[in-house]
C-alpha cells in the first residue's frame, strides 16, 4: 500500500541526537508514512543506532559520504509516498507535525510545497519564535508572497516542509553541485514556480547547539554567491525576490568581512540595492570587522542569557 508521506531523514555523525529525532518521527499522531533514513557515511556510531531501532516503517540506507544534497536526493529517489516530508537528523518533530501537513495538503492540493511553523531552540535552554513578515497569526493558507514573508526568518525550513512527489519528479530536488545554500536554492525555485501553503502552528523544534551554528553563516562563501547567481535573471523580473536575495547578500557580505575575505565582501555588497536594507543593516554593512566581531560576541553572550537581538527588527 502506498504511504501518504515518505519521510526522508539524512544523518551524518549525529549519534548524540539521531535517536531522539527518529523517536519524534515515529510518535506522530498521523501514522500513514514510511521513514527512509540515509546515513551519509557517518564515522561515528550513528548507523549502529539507526539499525537498532525496530519499526516496520523504517528503511535505512547506508551510502559513502557525498554531502547532504546527494543524501537527500537519494532518499527522495526511493520515496513511494504522495508527499515527501523532510527532517534533518538532529531536529525534533512534535506529534502533530504530519497531521498538520496532512491538513494543509488536503485543503490546498495544488501547491508546490507545504510548511508549518517551528520554534528555534538555542543551547537547549532558550526558545525563540521566528519572525515572519506579511502573514497574520494564526495563519493557515496560501502565502501571497514567500519572499516578502521570509525576509527575517524563512517560513520554509528543511525539517518542516513537504513536497509533492509529482513536483520532485519534475526535477525540483536539491542541487548537489552547491556546497552550501542548496536548501535556500530549492525554496527559491519552488516559490518562483508554485504556490506555497503555510500553517503558523509550530510543529517542530529547530535545534541550534553552538555559536557557529546559525550565528555564523557558512565557511563556504563562494558557493553561496554561486547559489545567488543562479537567480540573477529571475530577480530582474521579481522585485520581491530581488529584496530577498539582497538580504542574503547582506548576510554573506557580513560573514566575508568577519573572515577577512574582502574580495567576496565587495562582490556581495556591490550587488545590493540599499533600499532593501533597513538603517541598522546599512550601518552594519560599513562597520569595520573589529566592531562586527565585538557585536557577534555580544549577540552570543545575550543568547546565552536568553536575550534575542536582531538587526532585522
Domain that holds residue 90: 5-208
Judgement on whether residues 230 and 258 belong to the same structural domain of the protein = yes
Judgement on whether residues 240 and 149 belong to the same structural domain of the protein = no
Final residue before a domain boundary, out of 146, 173, 208: 208
The partner residues of 62 in beta bridges, in order of sequence, read 39
Judgement on whether residues 54 and 14 belong to the same structural domain of the protein = yes
What CA–CA distances, in Å, run from 251 to 18, 136, 175, 290?
A: 30, 26, 21, 17
Least confident of 72-81, 94-103, 299-308: 299-308
| Residue 312 falls inside a structural domain | no
| Residue 215 falls inside a structural domain | no
Judgement on whether residues 272 and 187 belong to the same structural domain of the protein = no
Judgement on whether residues 83 and 43 belong to the same structural domain of the protein = yes
In contact, 129 and 119? CB cutoff 8 Å: yes
Judgement on whether residues 184 and 94 belong to the same structural domain of the protein = yes
Judgement on whether residues 28 and 156 belong to the same structural domain of the protein = yes
Judgement on whether residues 95 and 68 belong to the same structural domain of the protein = yes
| Residue 60 falls inside a structural domain | yes
| Residue 257 falls inside a structural domain | yes
Mean pLDDT of the chain: 93
Query: In 3D, which of 76, 10, 1, 8 has the Cα closest to residue 36?
Result: 8
Q: Tens of pLDDT along 34-80?
A: 999 999 999 999 999 999 999 999 999 999 999 999 999 999 999 99
Mean per-residue pLDDT for 210-222? Answer: 55
Number of domains in the chain: 2
Final residue before a domain boundary, out of 185, 208, 231: 208
Predicted local distance difference test score (pLDDT) of residue 214: 40
pTM over cut 0.85: yes
Judgement on whether residues 246 and 181 belong to the same structural domain of the protein = no
- Cell readout for 212 is 557557529
In contact, 254 and 286? CB cutoff 8 Å: no
**In this structure, what CATH number is given to the domain that contains residue 67?**
3.90.550.10
Judgement on whether residues 136 and 270 belong to the same structural domain of the protein = no
Q: How confident is the model at residue 211 (pLDDT cuts 50, 70, 90)?
A: very low
| Residue 309 falls inside a structural domain | no
Checking if the pLDDT of 191 tops 50, the result is yes
Write out 93-126 in H/E/C secondary structure.
Answer: ECCCHHHHHHHHHHHCCCCCEEEEEEEEEECCCE
| Residue 311 falls inside a structural domain | no
| Residue 32 falls inside a structural domain | yes
Predicted local distance difference test score (pLDDT) of residue 219: 57
Judgement on whether residues 138 and 249 belong to the same structural domain of the protein = no
Q: Long-range pairs for 181-184 at CB < 8 Å and ≥24 separation?
A: 181/218, 181/223, 181/224, 181/227, 181/228, 182/68, 182/69, 182/227, 183/157, 183/158, 184/154, 184/227, 184/248
Q: What is the distance of C-alpha 136 from the center of its chain?
A: 21
Q: Tens of pLDDT along 124-178?
A: 778 888 989 888 889 999 999 999 999 999 999 999 999 999 999 999 999 999 8
Final residue before a domain boundary, out of 182, 208, 234: 208
Predicted local distance difference test score (pLDDT) of residue 310: 85
- What residue spans of 30-164 are helical by DSSP H? 46-51, 68-78, 97-107, 146-149
Predicted local distance difference test score (pLDDT) of residue 307: 86
| Residue 233 falls inside a structural domain | yes
Judgement on whether residues 60 and 143 belong to the same structural domain of the protein = yes
Amino acid at each position: 500500500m502506498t504511504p501518504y508521506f515518505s519521510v526522508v531523514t539524512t544523518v551524518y555523525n549525529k549519534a548524540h541526537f539521531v535517536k531522539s529525532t527518529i523517536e519524534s518521527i515515529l510518535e506522530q499522531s498521523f501514522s500513514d508514512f514510511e521513514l527512509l533514513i540515509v546515513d551519509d557515511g557517518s564515522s561515528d556510531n550513528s548507523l549502529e543506532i539507526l539499525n537498532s531501532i525496530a519499526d516496520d516503517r523504517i528503511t535505512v540506507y547506508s551510502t559513502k559520504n557525498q554531502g547532504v544534497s546527494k543524501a537527500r536526493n537519494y532518499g527522495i529517489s526511493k520515496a513511494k509516498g504522495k508527499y515527501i516530508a523532510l527532517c534533518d537528523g538532529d531536529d525534533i518533530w512534535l506529534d502533530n507535525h504530519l497531521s498538520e501537513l496532512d491538513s494543509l495538503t488536503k485543503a490546498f492540493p495544488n501547491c508546490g510545497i507545504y510548511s508549518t511553523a517551528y520554534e528555534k531552540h538555542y543551547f537547549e535552554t532558550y526558545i525563540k519564535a521566528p519572525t515572519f513578515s506579511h502573514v497574520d497569526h494564526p495563519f493557515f493558507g496560501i502565502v501571497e508572497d514567500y519572499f516578502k514573508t521570509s525576509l527575517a526568518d524563512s517560513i520554509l525550513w528543511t525539517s518542516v516542509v513537504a513536497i509533492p512527489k509529482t513536483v520532485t519528479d519534475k526535477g525540483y530536488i536539491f542541487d548537489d553541485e552547491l556546497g552550501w545554500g542548496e536548501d535556500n536554492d530549492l525554496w527559491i525555485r519552488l516559490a518562483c514556480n508554485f504556490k506555497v501553503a503555510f500553517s503558523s502552528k509550530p510543529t517542530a523544534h529547530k535545534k541550534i547547539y553552538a555559536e557557529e551554528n546559525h550565528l555564523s553563516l557558512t565557511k563556504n562563501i563562494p558557493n553561496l554567491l554561486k547559489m545567488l547567481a543562479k537567480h540573477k535573471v529571475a530577480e530582474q523580473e521579481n522585485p520581491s525576490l530581488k529584496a530577498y536575495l539582497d538580504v542574503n547578500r547582506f548576510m554573506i557580505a557580513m560573514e566575508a568581512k568577519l573572515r577577512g575575505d574582502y574580495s567576496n565582501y565587495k562582490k556581495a555588497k556591490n550587488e545590493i540595492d540599499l533600499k532593501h536594507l533597513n538603517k541598522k543593516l546599512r550601518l552594519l554593512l560599513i562597520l569595520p570587522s573589529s566592531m562586527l566581531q565585538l557585536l557577534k560576541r555580544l549577540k552570543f553572550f545575550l543568547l546565552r542569557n536568553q536575550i534575542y537581538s536582531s538587526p532585522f527588527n
